[in-house]
């Protein structure tokens, strides 16, 4: 455009602008209008598609830098042929009577502005996703009511194959042979120690004999009392004149006791087993108590001894005849195809390949093993070492195995699939074969229930639930057991369309949790589904940092990116990141270069340009993997070679190979950092350094803020925030507000769109400091409850502990596991206190470490004490603090000249301890396996935090906060960085190993 000739110095006093929309496009024109928009401004549309923007006040601008054709003000009624008017209208002008004069196609055109159609910029705004905050009166608002938590804990179905097969109750002869008790026994659960009738059928079938109190008294009298009486009388000389031999009487008494115990011994049902078996509603679902590693049961040594000694007496022949008659009748029933009698009287076989005898020397029993009784309840884990008897030999086991397999094959050929599945799952202990049989005959729901109840492979369970139509359960199972990828691959081999649908459900599951890159990874292997994640990639670019570095190459790899009109901007952004400065990990430059090496752009010219820029960046940064966290030297060389193969040949010929930069090594002394000396103007109650380099801080009633490393505010949300619960993927967080004792308000924060969405008010005592973006771990009702954060209201999808077992303190969590202090009832006077550790996301219990009595007394105290509370770490260790006043003996054997503090770790590793200067008043702060213990400085003018990771015997990094007192220094581990903060408004962040300072600022209002 040409500047008006009458403007001095190339500037004009413009009252408006004409924007050429057909040339620059609507988005660019709208952005320029919004930049210039003022109150009382006016926007109209010209007949040729251009826009006319009139400003309420003139602005002076350079014509060559103006956002459009500038409009000057002309005199009233000046003719178009006047010399002055010609000068003014060489570009464009607005007359005082409301006319627009401009040149079009070499001719001067005059238009009435009032007749032009008006445009409203408010129509361009999209309010979707914006949080609506209504003003409220100043003052304390009443605490909101917490809605009830909806319980949606998945219940594992217990398929009753016996009822499906139509097998009637056992016959009277079978009950007499097997000495069946009226109800099936249960087993003691490692977690709850509550009996579950019918769940341990095989263990109940192979338990050694036990005696009722009356029979046990008779056996003890015959074995001990009578022989001891004769020995005492003989020793006193009272039996010298008798005509019989006392030794023969003693021998006869022992033989009688052994025979009586062998013949009248019966297996007793576990306490309350009859009630549990008769009332299924009282049996807790197994899904709420996943079976942990089995614990060795107590040995009934008396029954084992009686059984072994009886076989050395003439009664052994009778017992062998009894067992042989049972096997002969059972074999005849199977051979004659009397399936009802055969299956009713058959006994289950233990899976010898599973290693049932690994728990120790097996017990010995003379009683016939009991078969399954009542409703079938699969038990995926053995409870203890099985008892052996005459039916447990190799020959008998092989004979029954062949008998059962032949029966299963014949039943399947006859179309009796329920009976065949019963034989495979219950009698042969081969549930995988039973599931395959049911799947072959389209019994998908029954197969899924059996696979889940027997704890088969997770991908198999997900695939069966998906094919059966219960897709919501398939998604929940895949998320809980981390089986999305394997289930998709397994389903793709048989049903590609179902596998594609499962991919879409996987992506939607990740999207609902705020994990944009997770949604991309879910669908990327299927090229037809890649365009569906374009919006997720743009949101990931908005997150910045490594997320942006991973998302940009995927956007450029979409073939229709140029057609969408954003290819040029995406290419320019990727080039700016590769050519920029700053830390390669924080800016995402190293991740972008590594991703470009394996993912080429769709446009060849763009791919060559970016590959060349990425190769240059790799040489500058010491490799595509950056300074730390790279894929290894050999892998980095392969990535660099792939970049050179696609880069400009002339540039590739001149580029040297990247040399890894030396990683700074600590010089032996622990790093020490000092926060800024002045407090901030805003309180800081929680803080975390994000992967993008920004800091997310919680400022209480002042809301939450997103800060740059230099302290500038990038975003501000006025939702009161006392704590942060960060998502592992870094795309979102939960803003937590304390409304009172055990009453918390929660809101979703989407860091990609920077929007806040209120969620719920929850009644809970404690929240884990992080979550996977979908499942939130909370301490409520004395136990642990896992909540689905994507539901519109709190929904419990998993529960742990509760009842007699109580949760003490908080919950330490990492992405792979969590730990907590648990108090359980004990047979002794004092309760049992342990550190429980689970693996996530499946909640498999991996360890139960007992706490010594001294710590148990400390946790049981009701009055305040000088000793801070211990803290559990996610790795399973327990961190305890013991103040060491001056004048007391220290661990080194001397006398402490000043107050000190001793840290002790109790874990499955060798115990460690660390002595620190100063006396800690408050307990340590912890996040996952990272901890920080705060002690006052000797002069009392500041606070010092000793930090570390897990058990250690050497001091780690220290953080000094001058001019501070009171609250302890908090710690947060996220995105490979450790953040320390204090309520006085100071925040300091270091690398995970503490060798590099990443941020040090004070939070202020600016």
Kindly indicate the confidence band of residue 562, based on its pLDDT and cuts at 50, 70 and 90.
low
Question: Which residues, other chains included, contact 976 with Cβ-Cβ below 8 Å and sequence gap of 6+?
Answer: 585, 629, 691, 991, 992
The C-alpha atoms of residue 892 and residue 316 are separated, in whole angstroms, by 66
Stretch among 358-367, 393-402, 600-609 having the lowest mean pLDDT: 358-367
Write the pLDDT tens digit of every residue in 775-789. Answer: 999 998 888 999 999
- Cis previous bond, 23, omega within 30: no
Q: Is a pLDDT exceeding 80 seen at residue 387?
A: no
Q: Is a pLDDT exceeding 50 seen at residue 105?
A: yes
Give the mean pLDDT of 425-452.
87
Stretch among 182-191, 527-536, 940-949 having the lowest mean pLDDT: 182-191
pLDDT at 612: 92
Stretch among 85-99, 482-496, 563-577 having the lowest mean pLDDT: 85-99
Kindly indicate the confidence band of residue 6, based on its pLDDT and cuts at 50, 70 and 90.
very low
Start-end of H helices in 265-338: 273-278, 301-310, 315-335
Write the pLDDT tens digit of every residue in 669-683. Answer: 788 999 998 899 999
Does this model's pTM top 0.85? My answer is: no
Kindly indicate the confidence band of residue 12, based on its pLDDT and cuts at 50, 70 and 90.
confident
Q: Is a pLDDT exceeding 60 seen at residue 550?
A: yes
Give the mean pLDDT of 407-415.
88
For residue 653, report the phi and psi dihedrals to the nearest 5 degrees. Answer: -70, -25
Residue 151 β-bridge partners: 796
Give the mean pLDDT of 313-338.
76
Question: Which residues, other chains included, contact 80 with Cβ-Cβ below 8 Å and sequence gap of 6+?
Answer: 86, 89, 101, 108, 110
Question: Which residues, other chains included, contact 549 with Cβ-Cβ below 8 Å and sequence gap of 6+?
Answer: 577, 587, 588, 589, 590, 591, 592, 595
The C-alpha atoms of residue 939 and residue 917 are separated, in whole angstroms, by 13
Write the pLDDT tens digit of every residue in 964-978. Answer: 888 889 999 998 899
**Percentage of residues of the chain with pLDDT beyond 70:** 67
Average pLDDT, the chain: 76
């Amino acid at each position: 455009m040409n500047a008006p000739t009458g403007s001095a110095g190339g500037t004009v006093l413009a009252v408006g602008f004409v924007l050429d929309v057909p040339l620059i496009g609507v988005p660019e024109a709208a952005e320029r209008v919004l930049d210039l928009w003022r109150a009382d401004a006016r926007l109209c549309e010209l007949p040729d598609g251009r826009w006319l923007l009139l400003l309420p006040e003139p602005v002076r601008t350079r014509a060559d830098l103006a956002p459009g054709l500038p409009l000057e003000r002309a005199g009233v009624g000046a003719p178009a042929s006047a010399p002055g008017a010609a000068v003014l209208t060489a570009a464009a002008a607005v007359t005082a009577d409301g006319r627009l004069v401009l040149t079009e196609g070499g001719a001067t055109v005059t238009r009435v502005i009032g007749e032009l159609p008006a445009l409203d910029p408010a129509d361009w705004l999209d309010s979707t996703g914006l949080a609506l905050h209504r003003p409220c009166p100043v003052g304390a608002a009443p605490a909101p009511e917490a809605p009830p938590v909806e319980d949606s804990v998945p219940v594992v179905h217990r398929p009753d194959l016996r009822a499906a097969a139509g097998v009637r109750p056992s016959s009277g002869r079978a009950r007499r042979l097997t000495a069946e008790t009226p109800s099936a026994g249960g087993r003691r659960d490692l977690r709850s120690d509550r009996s579950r009738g019918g769940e341990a059928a095989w263990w109940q079938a192979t338990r050694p004999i036990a005696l009722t109190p009356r029979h046990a008294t008779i056996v003890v009298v015959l074995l001990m009392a009578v022989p001891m009486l004769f020995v005492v009388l003989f020793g006193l000389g009272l039996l010298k004149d008798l005509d019989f031999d006392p030794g023969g009487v003693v021998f006869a008494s022992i033989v009688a006791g052994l025979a009586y115990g062998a013949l009248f011994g019966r297996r007793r049902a576990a306490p309350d087993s009859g009630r549990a078996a008769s009332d299924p509603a009282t049996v807790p679902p197994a899904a709420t108590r996943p079976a942990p590693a089995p614990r060795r049961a107590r040995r009934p040594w008396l029954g084992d001894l009686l059984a072994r000694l009886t076989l050395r007496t003439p009664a052994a022949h009778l017992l062998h005849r009894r067992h042989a008659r049972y096997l002969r009748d059972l074999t005849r029933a199977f051979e004659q195809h009397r399936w009802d009698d055969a299956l009713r009287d058959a006994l289950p076989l233990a899976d010898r390949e599973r290693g049932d005898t690994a728990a120790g020397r097996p017990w010995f029993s003379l009683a016939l093993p009991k078969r399954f009784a009542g409703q079938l309840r699969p038990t995926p884990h053995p409870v203890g070492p099985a008892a052996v008897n005459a039916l447990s030999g190799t020959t008998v086991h092989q004979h029954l195995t062949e008998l059962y397999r032949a029966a299963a094959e014949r039943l399947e050929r006859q179309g009796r699939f329920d009976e065949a599945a019963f034989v495979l799952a219950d009698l042969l202990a081969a549930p995988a074969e039973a599931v395959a049989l049911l799947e072959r005959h389209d019994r998908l729901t029954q197969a899924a229930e059996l696979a889940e109840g027997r704890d088969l492979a997770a991908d198999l369970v997900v695939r069966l639930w998906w094919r059966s139509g219960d897709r919501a359960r398939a998604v929940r199972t895949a998320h809980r057991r981390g089986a999305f990828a394997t289930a998709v691959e397994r389903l793709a081999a048989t049903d590609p369309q179902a596998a594609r649908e499962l991919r879409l459900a996987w992506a939607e599951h990740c999207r609902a949790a705020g994990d944009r890159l997770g949604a991309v990874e879910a669908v990327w292997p299927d090229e037809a589904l890649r365009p569906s994640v374009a919006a997720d990639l743009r949101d990931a670019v908005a997150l910045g940092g490594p997320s942006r570095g991973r998302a940009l190459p995927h956007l450029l790899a979409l073939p229709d990116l140029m057609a969408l009109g954003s290819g040029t901007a995406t290419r320019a952004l990727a080039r700016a990141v590769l050519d920029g400065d700053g830390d390669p990990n924080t800016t995402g430059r190293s991740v972008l270069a590594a991703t470009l090496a394996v993912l080429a752009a769709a446009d060849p010219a763009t791919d060559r340009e970016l590959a060349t820029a990425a190769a240059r960046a790799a040489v500058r940064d010491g490799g595509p993997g950056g300074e730390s966290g790279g894929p290894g030297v050999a892998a980095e060389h392969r990535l660099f070679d792939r970049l050179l193969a696609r880069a400009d040949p002339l540039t590739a010929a001149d580029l040297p190979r990247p040399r890894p930069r030396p990683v700074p090594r600590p010089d032996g002394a622990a790093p020490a950092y000092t926060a800024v000396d002045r407090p901030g103007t805003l309180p800081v109650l929680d803080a975390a350094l994000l992967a993008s380099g920004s800091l997310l801080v919680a400022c209480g009633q002042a809301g939450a803020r997103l800060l740059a490393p230099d302290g500038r505010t990038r975003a501000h949300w006025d939702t009161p925030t006392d704590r942060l619960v960060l998502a592992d993927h870094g795309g979102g967080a939960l803003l937590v507000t304390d409304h009172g004792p055990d009453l918390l308000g929660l809101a979703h924060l989407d860091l990609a769109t920077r929007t806040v969405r209120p969620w719920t008010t929850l009644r809970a005592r404690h929240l884990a400091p992080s979550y996977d973006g979908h499942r939130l771990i909370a301490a409520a009702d004395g136990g642990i409850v896992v909540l689905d954060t994507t539901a519109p209201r709190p929904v419990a999808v998993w529960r742990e502990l509760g009842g007699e077992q109580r949760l003490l303190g908080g919950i330490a969590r990492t992405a792979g596991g969590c730990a907590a202090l648990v108090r359980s009832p004990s047979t002794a006077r004092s309760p049992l206190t342990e550190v429980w550790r689970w693996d996530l996301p499946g909640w498999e219990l991996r360890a139960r470490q007992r706490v010594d009595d001294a710590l148990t007394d400390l946790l049981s105290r009701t009055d305040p004490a000088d000793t801070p509370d211990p803290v559990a770490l996610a790795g399973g260790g327990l961190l305890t603090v013991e103040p060491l006043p001056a004048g007391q003996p220290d661990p080194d054997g001397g006398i402490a000249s000043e107050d000190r503090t001793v840290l002790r770790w109790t874990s499955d590793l060798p115990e460690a301890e660390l002595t620190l200067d100063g006396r800690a008043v408050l307990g340590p702060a912890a996040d996952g396996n990272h901890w920080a213990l705060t002690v006052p400085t000797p002069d009392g003018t500041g606070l010092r935090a000793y930090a570390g990771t897990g058990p250690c015997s050497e001091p780690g990094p220290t953080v000094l906060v001058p001019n501070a007192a009171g609250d302890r220094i908090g710690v947060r581990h996220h995105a490979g960085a450790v953040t320390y903060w204090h309520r006085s408004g100071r925040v300091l962040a270091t690398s995970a190993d503490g060798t590099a300072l990443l941020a040090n600022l004070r939070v202020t209002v600016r």
